[in-house]
Copies of this chain bind each other. A is one copy, B any other.
Amino acid sequence: MTDLRALRADFPILEREVNGHQLVYLDSAATTQKPQSVLDAMDDYYRFHNANVHRGAHTLAVEATEMYEGARAKVAGFIGAETDQLVFTRGTTTALNYIAYGWGLNHLKAGDKILVTVMEHHANLVPWQLISRYTGAELVYLELNDDLTVDVSSLDQILTDDIAIIAFSGMSNVTGALGPIDVLTDAARSVGAISVLDGAQLVPHTPVDVTELGVDFLAFSAHKMLGPTGIGALWGRAERLEEMEPTEGGGEMINTVDRHSSTWAPVPHKFEAGTPPIAEAVGFGAAVDYLDAVGMDVIAAHEGELTAIALERLSEIPDLTIYGPKDITKRGGAVSFELGDVHPHDIATILDQDGIAVRAGHHCAKPLMKYLNIPATARASFYLYNVPEEVDALVESLHKARKLFGLT
């Protein structure tokens, strides 16, 4: 197993005790912990360089602008993108909404279809529902295979010229299932639809190069990849970003403003109205620096090994059902499970008493829950700072839960 153990020292929170136990943080799919270097970068920004960007000729404003735009270059570079095609947003959710409103409101018409999958996060469903109300477009769904990967066997029937958008996740935050990126990207191209990749769970965990992916848009969040809250990114092909209207109006995104009409600044600024999340961009830049230094392939390998161990150990627990692919090549490190009739919320409470943080609930994926015919799951998820002993702790604590609930 790739030994990233030494990196744990970079994450101050991992020293913390919870209910008398050292924290076992298995909730990185919700948000990740932050290395000291990310906190230091933001602190340095605020203590020495803080100023508003773009608008000033004074030293601090110049420095802040360079740091902000430098962060854009770093984050763009991290996904192999041109700097100008990387828009900072509040997060994945905002990025997907920008596409829905900025592209959808101006291109969709009644009768158009938006193809999504049943495993999508609400962030990749609700914006399309909202935009459907305004445009008359309609959502259509791809169902799932038995292993909970996306079933693309019916794609041929579904695929018509009415399909204007195909929006799908690169990795489910519930089942860990990888999305059929290539198949759906090709499908989109074959009918002239745009393809939108929800990369919230993909970009943090695996090397991503947009020049190799065929998608038109990619959305991801800093806080799920060692960066701060309050920032994320929208990447788009140059021509797609040009086609998009800004969804927020305000300062910095304009070229001219007359009383009754305005013209827009060039991409990416046209999508960044008002004072942007400056310190957050700096922190985001430091986060991708950290990930780059470790190496995304190393991180992916580490998580793969950890996930394999977890799947194996969890399968040995009586009454435990795992929701998601067992084949490690078809999945990432978010592992959802059920334990007999112990409600996931009760599991989380019991594990928390041992300092183990897992998530319980619908994971913002209600249509998937309905499809699985369950109200909720418990979910453990891994990142570069997790170690096999933490899987042991999880397993041990699940045995306690069984005992408490009298499962035999």
Task: Give the B-binding residues of A (Cβ under 8 A).
Answer: 12-13, 16, 18-19, 23, 25, 27, 30-31, 33-34, 39, 42-43, 46-52, 55-61, 90-94, 96-97, 100-101, 105, 121-123, 125-130, 132, 134, 138-139, 141, 221, 223, 228-231, 246-254, 256-262, 273-280, 345, 348-349, 351-352, 355-361, 363-364, 366-367, 370
A348 to B126, Cβ gap below 8 A?
Answer: no
Cα distance A58–B363 in the bound complex, in angstroms:
14
28 contacts between A and B (CB under 8 A): A13-B46, A18-B59, A27-B51, A27-B58, A30-B52, A31-B52, A31-B275, A39-B43, A51-B357, A52-B223, A58-B351, A90-B274, A93-B251, A93-B275, A121-B250, A122-B250, A125-B262, A126-B262, A126-B273, A128-B249, A130-B249, A132-B260, A221-B275, A229-B230, A230-B230, A230-B231, A230-B278, A254-B366
Please tell me which one of the listed residues B130, B139, B280 contacts residue A229 in the complex, with CB atoms under 8 A apart.
B280
Q: Which residues of chain B are within 8 angstroms of A348 by Cβ–Cβ distance?
A: 56-58
Q: Which residue of B lies closest to A363 (CB)?
A: B55
Q: Which residues of chain B are within 8 angstroms of A94 by Cβ–Cβ distance?
A: 90, 248, 273-274
Cα distance A51–B29 in the bound complex, in angstroms:
10
Q: Which residues of chain B are within 8 angstroms of A253 by Cβ–Cβ distance?
A: 126
Cα distance A101–B138 in the bound complex, in angstroms:
21
Cα distance A33–B262 in the bound complex, in angstroms:
31
Q: Which residues of chain B are within 8 angstroms of A262 by Cβ–Cβ distance?
A: 122, 125-126, 129
Please tell me which one of the listed residues B51, B97, B249 contacts residue A30 in the complex, with CB atoms under 8 A apart.
B51
Q: Which residues of chain B are within 8 angstroms of A125 by Cβ–Cβ distance?
A: 249, 257, 262
Besides the known contacts A58-B359, A126-B253, 17 further A-B residue pairs in the complex with CB atoms under 8 A apart: A13-B48, A27-B52, A55-B361, A58-B356, A90-B274, A94-B274, A97-B247, A122-B250, A126-B273, A129-B262, A138-B260, A228-B279, A229-B280, A230-B230, A230-B280, A259-B367, A277-B280
